[in-house]
Amino acid sequence: MLMKQIVLTTILLLPLFLISCSDNPAAAQDDPAFSVQLKNIDDGIVFQHNDNTTIIDIVSPVGISSATFTLKSGQMPRQIKVWLHLKGLEAFRLISEQITVAASIPSGDGLSAQSQRKISGASEQPILPFDPLRLKLEIVSSSQKIPLNDGYFEIVIPRGFLEQTGNSFEIQWIDFFR
């Protein structure tokens, strides 16, 4: 009888012990898993997940390409950052079934002269600074000058876009210096 109690207690407590030994089991179960369809097989994509933020790190040797992302499991992250390792950002498009958000950073003037617009059907409008679809664009580089010799462009996908997109979106990019 005592042996049955020990076995039963062990069986009941084992899941609690395993949960307490893991770093953050709830976060691990909720980490998003995306399938990716790349236009160019030479492009490289690495995902990082941390505190409900997903970083999509892209290296594109050709400099002109696209990738389609479909959420396969987990929850859509609250924030997605795209790190594009390019020398210049002639064009960037974030595409869902409902809307396209387009941006570019001129090679001579950098971030201060960036342009952003939203495209829906035949309508195209500039994106104003406080629009919920506005991309946050940064240059992460020691020089901050285009063409980038090191570093990358960081693009934060707007929460408003993620809320509209469902479970699938596409990004397209063109490097000035391809």
Structural domain boundaries of the chain?
Answer: 30-174
What gap in Å lies between CA 58 and CA 152, rounded to an integer? Answer: 9
What are 111-149's pLDDT values in tens digits? 777 899 999 888 999 999 899 999 999 999 998 888 998
What gap in Å lies between CA 162 and CA 158, rounded to an integer? Answer: 7
What are 14-69's pLDDT values in tens digits? 333 333 444 544 445 568 999 999 999 999 999 999 988 999 999 999 999 999 99
What gap in Å lies between CA 89 and CA 114, rounded to an integer? Answer: 10
Taking residue 31's Cβ as centre, other Cβ atoms within 10 Å add up to: 16
What are 160-170's pLDDT values in tens digits? 999 888 899 99
pLDDT score for 29: 58
